[in-house]
Structure 1
Amino acid sequence: MSIFRWITRGAGLVALACALPAAAQSPAKIRFMLDWKIQGVHAWFYWARDKGYFKDENLDVAIDQGDGSAAAVTRVMSGGYQAGVGDVNAIIQNAASKPGEAPVMVYMIYNQAPFALITKADGPIKTLKDVEGKTLGSPAGAAALKVFTALARRNGIDEKKVSWTNMAPNLQEQMLLRGQVDASAVFAATSYMNLVAQHVDPDKDIRWIFYNDNGLDLYSNGVLVSPKLLAEQPRAVGGLVKAVNRAMKECIAAADACIDNLARNEPLIDKSIEKRRMLYVLKHSILTSEVAEIGLGDVRDERMARAIDQIADSYGLPRKPSVGEVFNRSFLPPKAERAAKLPL
């Protein structure tokens, strides 16, 4: 081999060796869609980003606001986003009809689904059956609307006798209060504090009909990822879950700091309202007795299987996906790292 060829080949090998570490260290880019407009229940995602927890896991996460937890599932399926916050019941429906294409949930957040119908306490709807012949409202992409069929079939409600009006998310409570709809299908996490902000007492002035109190036993929103991200970048998925879990635990312990950080991202929020919203959701939907036993992020397989049965039977799905098609716990940190409770 000539000296020139030896030097050229050696230089090429050195260049390649230098390039490999840089490529290996290039952060994985993830477009992440929220389930709704920025609220207190999203504080941990911005905390994870702003505190550098995503960066610590070699991730470059861009967070966008959403327009419904069922819609977030669709957006990830379309390929526009690699991950997001969405409704596991929408995942079940899509996994049944499009095996291998639906996102997979890797970190459950809402252990108790906050789906509810709300109506005026002095209005004509006293029981669930009273919705027949009435007009209900919901944003088109809302999970509470998508799951209503399961609720109706479980309780013998004739859906043909129920009329629906779609509205923008920010008009949901207003249209109910103005009498433009008789009831609205809502996320309690959102509507409870929206009513407080409109100087309505949600406990005295509003009747709440919760889906899980009327025959359903559903999980709800959590962190989901696309099948492509799961297959091609499992390390990124693990890093995403680890960062979110770390941020959630810190926000549970230090709500004020996390809400202050959220306000730096969205100065128009009312910090007192969003703190109350976050604490309300933590108390009623996240930090349940089941979570005290199994830790943040996880589910009970037998309960998830029952939820799949309920959704599949109610919608007449072509098949019942397995729990493993819908939820993957293999990226969860150890249970000891997922223990959390509200400070006294």
Structure 2
Amino acid sequence: MKKSAMKMKKTFHAFEIVSLLLFAGYLVVPATPLLAQERGQPVPASGAKPLTRVRFALANPIINPGLSFVWIGSHFGWYQREGIDLEIIRTQGPADATQRVAAGQVEFGLPPPAFYVASVASGQDLGLVSVYLLRRQQQYSFAVLQDSPIKALKDLKGKKIGVSSLGDEGVTYVKATRRELKLVDSELQMVPVGAAGAATSSLQTGVVDVLALPGVQYALVEGLGVKLRHLPQPAFAERVFGNEIVTRRDYVAKSPEVVKGLLKGFAMGSAFFVANPKAAIEISFKMFPETVPKGMSLEEAVAGQVAALPPNIATLRFDNKPCKKWGCNSEEDWKAYIEYLGLDLSKTGDVKRFFTNEFIDYANSFDQKAIQDLARNFVLK
């Protein structure tokens, strides 16, 4: 027993930094022209747009290198050229991120839209709109320990499912699975277990039988050498998208230039990330050196992250989608998403109220080949 406990302690020693970050409030991405210049990166030319402070809420409580496409635009000065001074805000999950945007505490958030769509269905419009679809496919999955007897979705009956929190999109994913399997609530119980390392500890100690987490959190765990086995996806999964960039409708009306600039910097970061995820991870660790797990070298941390990234990258691709642009939404996808939520379209109304593609052409108005070439030839100095 002592040996097992010591092994677990060693495994999750690397997550100590994550635990510390949970209580820090937020981290600011260096985004001023001076800091960019100190890093030897491009900065706004003389006479460029004045910088506007933009607070961007993640849908999780950690600075995860697997999300580096969000902030690497600051490293290259792409946001700054658009007049954006980007500040990254960590939250306790999608519900928290949604609430902060709705309350005007941040200008943008990156949650799945389940929470504000459900509010509309219940008669409360939070005044939010999606301006950019990040994940063309949802990123949640069920995972178990390698030696678990659970092999298929049907084996989930009567099991305890670990979700990050009861305000996480994982709850929606589990509920949709429960409907697909025709189970009642008591036959698929959800337990909040926290993020990444804490969640996996709950799995290893038997607090839960299965995890339902997003790919970016599994990447943190698997990047440290913890071996998990993923169950087959439910039938609905391939038809459902994931996180969106959301903001308030009144903010769109008041600050369209800021929206355009934010989305362009974000799309450029995404193009770089997909072309060379290793370079993006290296940049992220340089920007946030405190996120390199304790006991690991930088090279080990990068290698671990990169090895676990393919499922994350797959959700960003749109090769098989009708719209071949970064960020675009479609009416058909939204109808499928509302069905996934188990909501009645007659209560949510016209799905076009939930999104706009108004800024997508501008977001894609950069030389994508040049970004890809930059990424593929990039060497961090």
Separation (CA, whole Å) in 2 of partners of 1:33 and 1:111: 20
Question: For residue 57 of structure 2, what is the amino acid of its counterpart?
Answer: M
Q: Which residue of 2 aligns with 1:237?
A: 259
Separation (CA, whole Å) in 1 of partners of 2:155 and 2:122: 32
Larger radius of gyration: 1
Residues 1-344 of structure 1 correspond to what in structure 2 (within 5 A)? 26-36=50-60, 37-97=62-122, 100-140=125-165, 141-169=167-195, 170-200=197-227, 202=228, 206-211=229-234, 213-214=235-236, 217-267=239-289, 268-269=291-292, 270-282=301-313, 284-291=314-321, 293-311=323-341, 314-315=342-343, 319-333=347-361, 337=366
Deviation of 1:255 (Å): 3.0
Deviations 1:172-205 (A, max 9, x none): 12221232211111112321451341341x4xxx
CA contact (8 A) 2:153 2:231 kept: no
CA contact (8 A) 1:189 1:281 kept: yes
SS at match of 2:110: strand
Question: For residue 52 of structure 2, what is the amino acid of its counterpart?
Answer: A
Q: TM-score, normalised by structure 2?
A: 0.73
- C-alpha spacing 1:92/1:198, structure 2 compared with 1 (3 Å): same
Deviation of 1:316 (Å): 5.9
- C-alpha spacing 1:292/1:275, structure 2 compared with 1 (3 Å): farther
Q: Which residue of 2 aligns with 1:9?
A: none
Separation (CA, whole Å) in 2 of partners of 1:260 and 1:53: 18
Gaps of 5+ in 1: 1-23
Q: Which residue of 2 aligns with 1:5?
A: none
SS at match of 2:111: strand
Deviations 1:256-303 (A, max 9, x none): 332222112221322222333444411x21114334852221133212
Deviations 1:145-187 (A, max 9, x none): 2332222123312112232221221311222123221111111
Separation (CA, whole Å) in 2 of partners of 1:277 and 1:149: 26
Deviations 1:225-244 (A, max 9, x none): 12332222122111111111
Deviation of 1:112 (Å): 0.8
Question: For residue 258 of structure 2, what is the amino acid of its counterpart?
Answer: A
SS at match of 1:220: coil
Aligned residue pair count: 313
Separation (CA, whole Å) in 2 of partners of 1:61 and 1:215: 32
Question: For residue 193 of structure 2, what is the amino acid of its counterpart?
Answer: M
Separation (CA, whole Å) in 2 of partners of 1:40 and 1:274: 8
Deviation of 1:136 (Å): 1.4
Separation (CA, whole Å) in 2 of partners of 1:285 and 1:56: 28
SS at match of 2:71: helix
Deviations 1:117-163 (A, max 9, x none): 22235434333233232211112132112332222123312112232
Separation (CA, whole Å) in 2 of partners of 1:128 and 1:338: 44
Separation (CA, whole Å) in 2 of partners of 1:300 and 1:339: 22
Deviations 1:26-75 (A, max 9, x none): 53322111122122332122211232222211222211223323432222
Gaps of 5+ in 2: 1-47, 293-300
Deviation of 1:326 (Å): 1.8
- C-alpha spacing 1:146/1:338, structure 2 compared with 1 (3 Å): farther
Question: For residue 125 of structure 1, what is the amino acid of its counterpart?
Answer: I
CA contact (8 A) 1:173 1:194 kept: yes
Q: TM-score, normalised by structure 1?
A: 0.80
- C-alpha spacing 1:108/1:41, structure 2 compared with 1 (3 Å): farther
Separation (CA, whole Å) in 1 of partners of 2:237 and 2:269: 34
Deviation of 1:330 (Å): 0.7
Greater Cα offset, 47-56 or 234-243: 47-56
